[in-house]
Amino acid sequence: AVLLAVDLVEKAIQENPSLNLGAATGGTMEPIYGELARRVKKGSISLRNIKTFQLDEYFPIAPTHPQSYRSFLMKHLVETTDASPENLYVPDGAASDPAAACEEWERIMCENPIALQLHGIGVNGHIAFIEPRKNPTREIFSMRTSLEELTFSTLQSNSRFFKPGEVQPTRAITVGMGTLLESVAHFVLVAFGKEKSAAVARVAASRLGLVFAGPKRGATRPVRGDGGSGHLELSASFKFVDV
Ligand code: PGA
């Protein structure tokens, strides 16, 4: 599954060595960045000229905090490959005015269309930190970058990364679904483990799955879930793959 995701990144970079890559963080991404680093070392791929744009950042958090997403990407992507720290873009989790930071992030995303967006999914179905709504409406599809309250489920799931004594922020600046749908050409959703299968199947069956896989994004066939069997591990550009 990791190889398949990294193959897509490699192919996209071969086509355009200075593309904008949508980055994500979390446990799912660690083996993906590990494989990317191996290929950079081997010389089959270079990230020197690519720009990476992260989906979200905790708020408030210092950029140098070990659990900030900027630190994660520095550790797993920049320090292990030839990617340049100047080409790493992350929402400002330390901004004194978070509303202004959200607006600034919208501007950055608008000016830098993403060729390929790597992303995971939360156990509760969140994409980036866009938390599921009790009563979702169509507005979710036009949502812009905003400061989002994290749900109990997300806080619980991500608490594993925080060491005793490290304060876990309860909010995050996250791109909106509208931001993503307007700026991203191709999505590569990766999810491991039985506990994610229900969330992946829900996305696949929802309008979101259809939007992600629409003709504009060049998907080769309609999305399909795994019926919650728990063996779904990877979807590539919404061409779902059971492995
Ligand atoms: P995880 O997070 O990879 O740490 O499970 C994924 C996500 O929340 O999108």
pLDDT in tens, 14-73: 999 999 999 999 999 999 999 999 999 999 999 999 999 999 999 999 999 999 999 999
- Give residue for tokens 């999305």: 223
Report the interhelical angle of 29-42 vs 2-15 (nearest 10°).
50
Tell me, in angstroms, the distance from the centre of ligand 1 to residue 28's CA: 6
Minimum CA distance residue for ligand 1 atom 8: 122
Catalytic residue among 30, 104, 124, 182: 124
Look at residue 238 in the predicted model and tell me its pLDDT.
42
Could you please report the per-residue DSSP string of the chain? -HHHHHHHHHHHHHH-TTPEEEE--STTHHHHHHHHHHHHHHTS---TT-EEEESEEEES--TTSTTSHHHHHIIIIITTSS--GGGEE---TT-S-HHHHHHHHHHHHHHS-EEEEEE---TT--BTTBPPPSS--GGGGG--SEEEEPPHHHHHHHGGGSPTTPPPPSEEEE--HHHHHHHEEEEEEB--SHHHHHHHHHHHHSHHHHHHTSGGGT-SS-----TT-S-EEEEETTEEEE-
Tell me, in angstroms, the distance from the centre of ligand 1 to residue 153's CA: 12
Tell me the pLDDT tens digit for each residue of 139-154: 888 899 999 999 999 9
The encoded tokens of residue 87 equal: 């080409």
Look at residue 231 in the predicted model and tell me its pLDDT.
35
State yes or no: is 126 an active-site residue: yes
Look at residue 226 in the predicted model and tell me its pLDDT.
40
State yes or no: is 56 an active-site residue: yes
Minimum CA distance residue for ligand 1 atom 2: 26
Residue type at 191 in one-letter notation: A
By most ligand atoms within 8 Å of CB, the mutation choice from 28, 58, 158 for ligand 1 is 28
Tell me the pLDDT tens digit for each residue of 58-115: 999 999 999 999 999 999 999 999 999 999 999 999 999 999 999 999 999 999 999 9
Q: Are strands 56-59 and 171-174 parallel, antiparallel or unpaired?
A: antiparallel
Ligand 1 site: residues with CB under 6 angstroms? Answer: 26-28, 120-122
State yes or no: is 242 an active-site residue: no
Mean pLDDT over the full length of the chain: 86
State yes or no: is 124 an active-site residue: yes
How far apart (Å, rounded) are the C-alpha atoms in residues 240 and 243? 10
Look at residue 196 in the predicted model and tell me its pLDDT.
87
C-alpha distances in angstroms, 68 versus 59, 62, 74, 162, 205? 9, 7, 10, 10, 32
Which tops the pLDDT comparison, 206 or 240? 206
Q: Say if residues 188 and 215 touch (Cβ distance below 8 Å).
A: no
From the CA of 28, give the closest atom in ligand 1.
Answer: 3
Taking 80 as the threshold, does the pLDDT of residue 164 lie above it?
yes
Tell me, in angstroms, the distance from the centre of ligand 1 to residue 82's CA: 25
From the CA of 154, give the closest atom in ligand 1.
Answer: 8
Look at residue 240 in the predicted model and tell me its pLDDT.
45
Tell me, in angstroms, the distance from the centre of ligand 1 to residue 108's CA: 24
C-alpha distances in angstroms, 180 versus 89, 90, 114, 232, 243? 15, 15, 9, 24, 27
Catalytic residue among 57, 106, 131, 148: 131
Tell me, in angstroms, the distance from the centre of ligand 1 to residue 24's CA: 9
